[in-house]
Structure 1
Amino acid sequence: MADEANRTAFLEIQSRMIEITGKLKQVLNQLRNKEGDKKRAYLTLEELRQLSDDTDTYKSIGRTFVLEPKSVLVDEQEQKLKDSESAIASLQTSKEYLEKQKAEVENNLRELLQQDPGLARLIMSMTAM
């Protein structure tokens, strides 16, 4: 009876671990993408700032280029930079939360295996198959 309850608890912990790990990978990928967006916006902004104010600047819209004042492009890049920074901060918070959840699940698994050493042997025999 207790054996079956421990096995059920293990399966629940295992499914939570898989779910949390998947979410964590997703957040890490989003974080990496936003870091790239931030870097592109920063570098573009640095290049734009080096241009004189009377320089013709063009904005890419699909396959077309449209003449825009430098100030409009600078404003857009500054906004992209701010948006990226706020998204990164939010994703960082999510990452920390998921890492805490993952550590908690790992701790629950460790406690379960310490309670029932027979469960550890059963798990090891299942992975050997």
Structure 2
Amino acid sequence: MADEANRAAFMELQGRMIEITGKLKQVQNQMRGKEGEKKRAYLTLEELRQLSDSTNTYKSIGKAFILEPKSTLVNEQEQKFKDSEAAIASLQTSKEYLEKQMGEVENNLRELLQQDPGIARQIMSMSVM
């Protein structure tokens, strides 16, 4: 009976580990995307700042280009930069939380395997087949 309970606990922990790993990968991908957005906004800002205020600047909307004042484009890029930084900070918090959960699940798995070495042998025999 205890063997079945340990096996069920292992399966549950394994499921949580897979779920957390998936979420962690998703957060990391989102962070990479936001880092790219932040870098594009920064580089665009740097290029815009080099232009004189009298330079004609255009904003791309789909396939069309609309004449916009330089100050409007600078404000938009600054906002994109700030939004990206805020999103990255939020995602970093999520990542740290998920990493903490992952550590807890790993510790629980270790404890379970130390309590019942028989389950470790069963798991090893299942993975060999």
TM-score by length of 2: 1.00
Q: Deviations over 1:65-95 (max 9, x none)?
A: 0000000000000000000000000000000
**1:24 matches 2:32:** no
**1:95 matches 2:95:** yes
User: Size of the alignment, in residue pairs?
Assistant: 129
Distance 2:110 2:19 in 1: 18
Distance 1:72 1:78 in 2: 10
Distance 1:62 1:125 in 2: 58
Specify every segment of 5 or more residues in structure 1 that has no aligned partner in the other structure, as ranges.
none
Mapping for residues 50-65 of structure 1, pairs under 5 Å? 50-65=50-65
Distance 1:71 1:127 in 2: 62
1:40 is aligned to 40
Specify every segment of 5 or more residues in structure 2 that has no aligned partner in the other structure, as ranges.
none
Distance 1:98 1:41 in 2: 29
1:14 is aligned to 14
Distance 1:67 1:128 in 2: 66
**1:113 matches 2:97:** no
Structure 1 residue ranges (4+ consecutive) displaced by more than 2 angstroms after TM superposition: none
Distance 2:37 2:125 in 1: 47
Q: For 1:84, what is the secondary structure of its paired residue?
A: helix
Identity of aligned residues (%): 82
TM-score by length of 1: 1.00
1:73 is aligned to 73
2:84 is aligned to 84
